[in-house]
Structure 1
Amino acid sequence: MPAINNDILDESPKKFDRVIAILTQLQSKRIVKAQDLADRFGVSLRTIYRDIKTLEASGVPVSSEAGVGYSIVEGYKLPPVMFTKDEAVSFVAAEKLMQHFTDKSIGTAFQAAMFKVKSVLRWAEKDWMDMLDERILVQPKNLLFNKDVPNALEILMHGIVNKKQVQILYHSFDADEPVNRSIEPIGLYHEKEYWYLVAYCHLRKDHRNFRADRIIKIARLESDFILQHKELSFYLQRPERNNYVTIKIQIESAYVKYIKQSRILYGFVSEKKVGDKTEMTFEYAEDPEYFIRWFIVLADKSDILEPESVRNRLSALVSEINNRLQQTAPIKSKS
């Protein structure tokens, strides 16, 4: 019996769904590689080639270039895409996150885009979205952007895409006053509940990380980048191992819950049970003083096992606190 060709059998409703999905993906990007399509849908390259031919036979002007990929001829107008109920529901979560995790300028632009999306939904999907909109609430812990800089992300993204310098007035954590800096923005990332910018700072002559909420003012510049920069991922690589301080602590297990959320901010690596206590290991790349002042909140239930230098600094800090308490006389209320 001859072998059955799976590509020939693929004349089913699922092929129709896949071809429509390929069309949607072609609309979403300028160039789409055949291999990327094959990986997404879990089919062979030959199947993708057949699907593309199906689109071409349907009158969709798909252009291709060997070794590059497929694209739809610019200017070709396609009918509105219809969304499933699950896809429509996902927009509600996206809209809520965009409202609170981007600046006002981008949030407004996304809201305008959502009106266009909602305009092509069926009434049932619109009703679902309205119902969920009233029942989903997002409340970020921190202020992600300075309220006086409502377009920070928009300007930074413009600089990244167009390779244009940006002027910022930045108040770093250790500085008494904000400082003007001309920067070449490379990329943005969200980590530890804040937005961060990786950029080349002309003032410091080095690549630096900037926290978005510490930008006091921002302005576009017409100056082009003067340097060639690597991809964002290069600058997010962990520092060399010898720049880290390995800190081990032991805490009564009943109190672990109080630091379970915050410990990730201080380089938490692992934990293990030791009797009724929990031993934790941290790899900390910052000044250990920050770690010590975080640790002291539960110092009555914990011990620093190593290194000795961190133990000594904790002991000195506790002595300073004790001396301060003894020198400060309690205020007695008048009877």
Structure 2
Amino acid sequence: MNKTERQFAIMLELQRSKVLRAEDLAAHFETSVRTIYRDMQALSEAGVPILGSPGHGYSLMEGYFLPPIGFSAEEAVALLMGTDMIEQRLDGDYKSAARAARSKIEAILPEPIREASAIVRETMQILHPGGQGENELGQVRGAILERRKIRMLYLKKIPDSDGKRMNERIVAPYGLVLVQGNWIMIARCDLRQEVRHFRLSRMRDVTVLEERYSLPHGFKLSQYRPPDDRKLHVMIRANPEMTDKIAETAGFYIEAAEQRERSLLVQFRVRQPEELLPHVLSWGGDVEVLEPESFRNRIREEAEKMLKRY
């Protein structure tokens, strides 16, 4: 970044952040505080109304706005693709906002840039099935913003010991994360008394409660990393030709893989062996579960049920 680009970027930062210290700007632009002082002097001499307050930092005079900013074709594509994704991935309010934003962006783009960005966008497409948990997404998003708890019925992937898959939960939602095309709610569960992950597509009868909650001190969704509680191991032997398919469909669970002369040994690490059940069944006769014995027996039982049907 040259001097002119940096000074323009400084104005953008001041317009966005209102007040910034020279030290903060130096760290952001990876330069020295003295360089920032010189940049501020140059901007002031160029007529930009910069206010400096000792001990507080720099700011732009109230009411001063930068002139309209031009976009390159690549920048326009990034913005327009962003509105496409928001329209497909978020709920109704944001769908409308994304369409309105896209219209405004396209309206202010010069004709050559608009045409160039249209050509690039024709070569890329964002596909999303839509309709999955859209109502729940809006409710959860509103509850997070208002810091209100949620009551819901949740369909578990694996049944409890008593065979039940659906149970009621009251949770304090901390945030939403889009993982492999699925919205996941990060929330503290009153029943389990710990932070849990809930897939929106499995949530039913969602109700936003009047009861409020507070985020734990220092909690930041961007820094949150779930604990890895996969403590059980599953070993399978597979046809080597299945290597790519196993990696594509169950790569998250793979702990180690060893290529033998005529087979592939794969070790998985899971919370419960049943997490691998649909994957192993989909691989058919090209794999064999070696351990644990209980999971090997489970696969045999499922295979016998299928055989009876056919």
Shorter-normalised TM range: 0.7 to 0.9
Alignment of 1:271-282 (within 5 A): 271-282=257-268
**Which one of 272, 287, 300 corresponds to residue 272 of structure 2?**
287
Once residues 302 and 32 of structure 2 are traced to their aligned partners in structure 1, the CA distance between those partners, rounded to angstroms, is: 68
**Which one of 278, 297, 303 corresponds to residue 316 of structure 1?**
297
Match of 2:285 in 1: 300
Spell out, residue by residue over 1:155-213, the C-alpha distance to the aligned partner (whole angstroms, 9 max, x if none). 14423xxxx214343433245556363x3222222223312111223455433222122
Matched residues, percent identical? 22
Once residues 220 and 69 of structure 1 are traced to their aligned partners in structure 2, the CA distance between those partners, rounded to angstroms, is: 42
Alignment of 1:42-121 (within 5 A): 42-57=30-45, 58-63=47-52, 66=55, 70-72=58-60, 75-121=63-109
Alignment of 1:204-215 (within 5 A): 204-215=192-203
The DSSP-based 3-state class of the residue aligned with 1:136 is coil
> Which amino acid letter does the alignment assign opposite residue 165 of structure 1?
R
Once residues 148 and 263 of structure 2 are traced to their aligned partners in structure 1, the CA distance between those partners, rounded to angstroms, is: 52
Asked if structure 1 preserves the Cα contact closer than 8 Å seen for 2:289 and 2:296, the reply is no
The DSSP-based 3-state class of the residue aligned with 2:116 is helix
State the TM-score, normalized to the length of structure 2.
0.78
State the TM-score, normalized to the length of structure 1.
0.73
Asked if structure 1 preserves the Cα contact closer than 8 Å seen for 2:140 and 2:173, the reply is no
CA, structure 1 residues 172+236, in 2 after alignment: closer, same or farther (shift >3 Å)? farther
> Which amino acid letter does the alignment assign opposite residue 111 of structure 1?
R
**Which one of 213, 230, 236 corresponds to residue 249 of structure 1?**
236
The DSSP-based 3-state class of the residue aligned with 2:247 is coil
Match of 1:139 in 2: 127
Once residues 137 and 103 of structure 1 are traced to their aligned partners in structure 2, the CA distance between those partners, rounded to angstroms, is: 20
Match of 2:185 in 1: 197
Match of 1:9 in 2: none
Alignment of 1:33-48 (within 5 A): 34=22, 37-48=25-36
Spell out, residue by residue over 1:28-48, the C-alpha distance to the aligned partner (whole angstroms, 9 max, x if none). 345556556445544333222
Gaps of at least 5 residues in structure 2 are none
The DSSP-based 3-state class of the residue aligned with 2:183 is strand
Asked if structure 1 preserves the Cα contact closer than 8 Å seen for 2:20 and 2:59, the reply is yes
Match of 1:7 in 2: none
Asked if structure 2 preserves the Cα contact closer than 8 Å seen for 1:197 and 1:209, the reply is yes
Once residues 149 and 134 of structure 2 are traced to their aligned partners in structure 1, the CA distance between those partners, rounded to angstroms, is: 19
The DSSP-based 3-state class of the residue aligned with 1:151 is helix
Alignment of 1:222-237 (within 5 A): 223-225=211-213, 228-229=216-217, 230-232=219-221, 236-237=225-226
Gaps of at least 5 residues in structure 1 are 1-12, 331-335
Q: How many pairs were matched up?
A: 302
Match of 2:247 in 1: 260
Shift of 1:73: 5.2
Asked if structure 2 preserves the Cα contact closer than 8 Å seen for 1:103 and 1:153, the reply is no
CA, structure 1 residues 227+35, in 2 after alignment: closer, same or farther (shift >3 Å)? closer
Shift of 1:322: 4.9
Shift of 1:102: 2.3
> Which amino acid letter does the alignment assign opposite residue 289 of structure 1?
E
